[in-house]
Amino acid sequence: MASLSMFGFVALWSPYFLAFLLLITCLYFMIVGPWRTRFTKEGPPTRKQKAYFVAGIVLLYICVGSPIDLLGHLIFSAHMIQMAILSFMVPQLFILGIPNWLFERVFQIRPLKAAVTFLTKPLIAIVLFNGLFSFYHVPFIFDLANSHALYHAVITTMIFIAAWMMWWPLLNKMPGWQSLSGLKKIGYIFADGVLLTPACALIIFANKPLYATYYDPQMWMKSLALCVPAGTLASLDLSGPQMFFSIPLLYDQQLGGVLMKIIQEIVYGTVLFFVFVDWYRKEREKEKLETAVSPYPSES
């Protein structure tokens, strides 16, 4: 099998994207640190919040800037791992890592606040994300997106934003923005998991490779052009993805669908656990408060 090193350092490690993320990280720490008093009287974010934000940046780079991004154009299972991390992990970390006062400052832009308010309505949020994700993985749309840089950037960015909107009702702590609580959050998670199942099932149980991006050499080269510099790609003698991996295309496709569903269930199960624990704790506190206020039943 050929080595990925033939694609060069830029294709493997995306130094320009790394520089961009480092700039965003420095800007974050300046805003929540030395510049904070210009925007709010609240204290700095906790260490946990800062850790969440940095973890989100690291995972974003791993998915989009590391060799995993290149692998996603070579084998479908790597693409699905990339999509799972970008959809189910990175948005959560950013929502948890950005302090409320910073969101409030951003939402002072009225059109943006109106758009987020609408898109984070629970029903709209889960339908939008799962619809876009399923739409993207319709074979002819997937192949079209992965053969044109603009289409690919627009569609994947839309899915990433939709993932933010989908996680917002579950995770945000801003007063006035919490549209779900208690058992409603649990129902929301279950509904979210169910809506993605048909797309994964079609991929897993297909009896032939669905995506020309991975079996047609010309489509495959167009897909590689999205992440490999043109000069480097022109200098390589490439015949197709089989020169890098021996796994049959159909098995790779089925593996991708299975991995997506497994990662989704693990993430949703973890979130469900914490949501249930938080709901149970609040119910216990409510019962204790009611007992303290009225320890004896009222007499008629």
For 27, which DSSP code?
H
Burial 133-152 (b: 16+ CB within 10 A, else e): bbebbeeeebbbbbbbeeeb
Q: Given a cut of 90, is residue 156 above it in pLDDT?
A: yes
Structure token pair of residue 49: 């919040």
Question: Under a CB-based contact definition with an 8 Å cutoff, are residues 45 and 266 in contact?
Answer: no
Q: What is the mean pLDDT of residues 39-67?
A: 94
Average pLDDT of the chain is: 91
Give the model's pLDDT for residue 276: 86
Q: pLDDT class for 134, splitting at 50, 70, 90? A: very high
Lowest mean pLDDT among 26-30, 184-188, 262-266: 184-188
User: Does the pLDDT of residue 2 top 80, yes or no?
Assistant: no
pLDDT recorded at residue 296 = 57
pLDDT on residue 179: 73
Q: Mean pLDDT: which of 146-150, 173-177, 236-240, 242-246 is highest?
A: 146-150
**Domain spans of the chain?**
4-230+244-282
Residue 189 clears pLDDT 50, i.e. is over it: yes
Distance CA(300)–CA(297), nearest Å, equals 10
pLDDT bin (cut points 50, 70, 90) of residue 300 is very low
**Tens-place pLDDT, residues 217-276:** 889 999 999 999 988 888 888 877 777 777 899 999 999 999 999 999 999 999 999 888
Q: Is 47 exposed, middle or buried (0-12, 13-18, 19+ CB in 10 A)?
A: exposed
pTM (whole model) above 0.85: yes
- Given a cut of 50, is residue 57 above it in pLDDT? yes
pLDDT for res 54 = 98
Residues 6+ apart with CB under 8 A from 185: 169, 170, 275, 279
Residue 97 predicted with pLDDT over 60? yes
> pLDDT value at position 70?
93
How buried is residue 292: exposed, middle or buried, by Cβ count under 10 Å (0-12/13-18/19+)?
exposed
Q: Judge whether residue 194 has pLDDT over 50.
A: yes
Residue 265: per-residue pLDDT:
93
pLDDT of residue 283: 78
**154 pLDDT higher than 80:** yes
Give the whole-number percent of the chain exceeding pLDDT 90.
72
135 pLDDT tier (thresholds 50, 70, 90) = very high
pLDDT range class, residue 1, cuts 50, 70, 90: low
Percent above pLDDT 70 for the chain: 97
User: 19 pLDDT exceeds 60?
Assistant: yes
